[in-house]
């Protein structure tokens, strides 16, 4: 197999984000269809990061493994023929085996554009936020300066959690809690929450893998971060009798599933 690096630009206005989704047009989905059309091979494109719906990119990087011997210039020309006009493949480069756009990323730059004017800008409408009223630029610069440097946002989040959740009641209940973050952003948080609030909490899976190779397949044979699915939650279901309550959350920790002891048949 051969690893290639794709450098991309795209207008995300009409896409439902980067990550492939059933029934939705996404950047990853379009790239995978284009590559399959060129190579006849079903592939999985891995991005250095995922952009949300409506978010654009000027230098997104992705990696993919292919068996094809098509030269990089051929991929560059062919992919730009197959992808929609909202996507441009800027560069195609052969990389060493095992190179991964996400794991080997060294940094990311995010740019937020504001069009501050009483009248909208047709030229910038898809790339900016239109704010009608005058901005307090001095206050904005002052606030932004506080973000410079290294900050422990985990500690702040965990400390503030007690203001919205009665964690003392959870601790006093003595419940045995099991958590599977499903390889997502919450992996680094759950252990800290358990330690700070003295909870009987076990993180059952601390794996972080951009291919989600540790996941059990969903009902249709696909990998899906769906805590409401007993198939995606199968690993946690197997452990249900070890805990009073077991929790699973998707990669962004905005959806949660709950498993309790008993017959799950």
Q: Which residues are catalytic, by number?
A: 52
Report which of 93, 1, 77 is spatially closest to residue 34, judged by C-alpha positions. Answer: 77
Q: DSSP letters of 207-242?
A: ---TT-TTSPP-TTS-----TT-TTTTHHHHHTGGG
Q: 40: buried, middle or exposed (CB in 10 Å: 19+, 13-18, 0-12)?
A: exposed
Distance between CA atoms of residues 212 and 187, nearest Å: 13
Distance between CA atoms of residues 224 and 256, nearest Å: 13
Cβ-count burial 125-135 (b if 16+ within 10 Å, e if not): eeeeeeeeeee
Main-chain phi, psi angles of 113, to 5 degrees: -105, 135
Distance between CA atoms of residues 261 and 265, nearest Å: 12
Tokens 């898809």 locate to 126
Q: Which helix (H) or strand (E) holds 121?
A: none
Task: Could you list the beta-strand ranges (E) of 96-226.
Answer: 114-116, 129-131, 177-180, 201-203
Distance between CA atoms of residues 124 and 117, nearest Å: 12
């Amino acid at each position: 197999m051969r690893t290639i690096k794709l450098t991309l630009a795209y207008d995300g206005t009409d896409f439902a984000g980067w990550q492939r989704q059933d029934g939705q047009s996404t950047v990853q989905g379009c790239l995978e269809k284009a590559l399959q059309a060129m190579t006849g091979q079903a592939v999985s494109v891995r991005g250095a990061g995922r952009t949300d719906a409506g978010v654009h990119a000027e230098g997104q990087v992705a990696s993919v493994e292919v068996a094809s011997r098509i030269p990089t210039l051929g991929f560059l020309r062919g992919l730009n023929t197959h992808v929609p006009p909202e996507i441009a493949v800027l560069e195609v480069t052969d990389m060493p085996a095992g190179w991964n756009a996400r794991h080997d990323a060294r940094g990311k730059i995010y740019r937020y554009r504001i069009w501050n004017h009483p009248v909208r800008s047709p030229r910038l409408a898809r790339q900016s936020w239109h704010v009608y009223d005058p901005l307090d630029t001095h206050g904005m610069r002052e606030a932004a300066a506080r973000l410079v440097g290294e900050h422990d946002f985990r500690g702040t989040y965990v400390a503030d959690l007690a203001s919205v959740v009665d964690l003392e009641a959870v601790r006093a209940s003595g419940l045995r809690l099991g958590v599977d973050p499903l390889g997502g952003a919450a992996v680094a948080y759950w252990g800290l929450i358990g330690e700070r609030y003295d909870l009987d909490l076990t993180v059952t899976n601390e794996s972080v893998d951009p291919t989600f190779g540790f996941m059990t397949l969903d009902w249709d044979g696909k990998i899906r971060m769906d805590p409401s699915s007993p198939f995606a939650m199968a690993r946690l279901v197997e452990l249900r009798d070890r805990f009073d309550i077991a929790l699973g959350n998707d990669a962004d920790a905005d959806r949660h599933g709950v498993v309790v002891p008993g017959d799950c048949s």
